Amino acid sequence: SFAGFILLPAMPRNVTLQYIPHDSTRRDRFKKRLKGLMKKADELAILCDAKTCVLVYEEGKAAPEVFPSHAEAMGILNQFKSLPELGPCKEAMNQEIFITKRIEKLRDQVDKTRRECEDSEIRYLLHKIMHGDPSVLVGLDIEKLTKVGYKVNVFLKSIAERMAKIHSQAPPPAPCVTTGNIDMGSPVLYPTPPQ
């Protein structure tokens, strides 16, 4: 497993954390705390079979203090750097993004359901009108009447398209048959007698 880089040692509860202005006191505390930090990192590695390293830059020094060694720390850091940038977290969402997406999805569902309800209501009104009950139009506001008119136009267009398709698929009329001077006309004009 892979643990974080810094694990702070437990500190006495009565210590106020603030910058230590006195140089020698600060250096002494730094060395003591650094030793404790390195010990905690080593304990974590042993107890949990975790890869740990610690890099600490001391004030006034160019090179960092490194635990467990430069080579091992470089190996751990290179392993960390080779991980995909966001790894499995790429698909993860924070709670705000999750809730926002869920709200958008629910709004879309509500809009779809509202459109379906309006469509069903308009179909019901048209059904009532076609069966001789125009009273259902009384009291409708202009928006509802406009939707009814739009739906009628959609239906009329659909019917016209179907009729055009049927007429384009109909067989061509048969040629006229003539016997002597009598023109029998197209057979389409004469219905076949029922059998």
More confident residue, 74 or 59: 74
Question: Domain 23-84's class?
Answer: alpha beta
pLDDT (0 to 100) of residue 42 = 92
Mean pLDDT of the chain: 80
- Taking residues 158-175, what's their average pLDDT? 81
pTM above 0.75, yes or no: no
More confident residue, 192 or 142: 142
pLDDT tens digits, one per residue of 6-47: 545 555 567 678 888 888 998 899 899 999 999 999 999 999
**Structure tokens of 130?**
């076609």
- Taking residues 95-118, what's their average pLDDT? 92
- Taking residues 180-193, what's their average pLDDT? 54
More confident residue, 7 or 105: 105
More confident residue, 110 or 134: 110
Each domain of the chain, given as residue ranges in start order, spans: 23-84, 95-168
- Taking residues 127-135, what's their average pLDDT? 87
